Amino acid sequence: MSPTCKCCGKPVTKDETAATKKLINRGATEYLCIPCLARHFDVAEEAIRERIAYFKAMGCTLFE
Ligand SMILES: [Zn+2]
């Protein structure tokens, strides 16, 4: 069963599960989608997407 956002219940992508681990808790077993991550941190969704792009550029293996 694929993971869902603990806040809104939408299916989360691999990027979103990885972003939750990087931004909130490395050992997270509950995940947030990008819009809910943005709300959690009170930032624009674009800022979360930029962080994901940054982690990918750094070669973080959590991301595909
Ligand atoms: Zn959500």
Distance 4 CA to ligand 1 centre (A): 8
- For 2-24, the pLDDT digits (tens) are 899 999 999 999 999 999 999 99
Distance 60 CA to ligand 1 centre (A): 23
Distance 34 CA to ligand 1 centre (A): 7
How many alpha carbons lie under 13 Å from residue 33 in its C-beta half-sphere?
13
- For 30-53, the pLDDT digits (tens) are 999 999 999 999 999 999 999 999
Distance 38 CA to ligand 1 centre (A): 9
Task: Tell me what pLDDT residue 19 has.
Answer: 97
Q: Which helix (H) or strand (E) holds 37?
A: helix 34-41
CA-based R_g, the chain, Å = 11
Q: How sure is the predictor about 60, in pLDDT bands with cuts at 50, 70 and 90?
A: very high
Distance 17 CA to ligand 1 centre (A): 11
Domain containing residue 42: 14-57
**Residues whose CB is less than 8 angstroms from the CB of residue 56 and which lie 6 or more positions away in sequence, other chains included:** 63
Domain-located, residue 49: yes
Domain-located, residue 35: yes
Domain-located, residue 9: no
Domain-located, residue 62: no
Domain-located, residue 64: no
Task: Tell me what pLDDT residue 64 has.
Answer: 73
Q: In total, how many domains does the chain have?
A: 1
DSSP structural state of residue 58: T
Domain-located, residue 4: no
What pTM was computed for the model?
Answer: 0.91
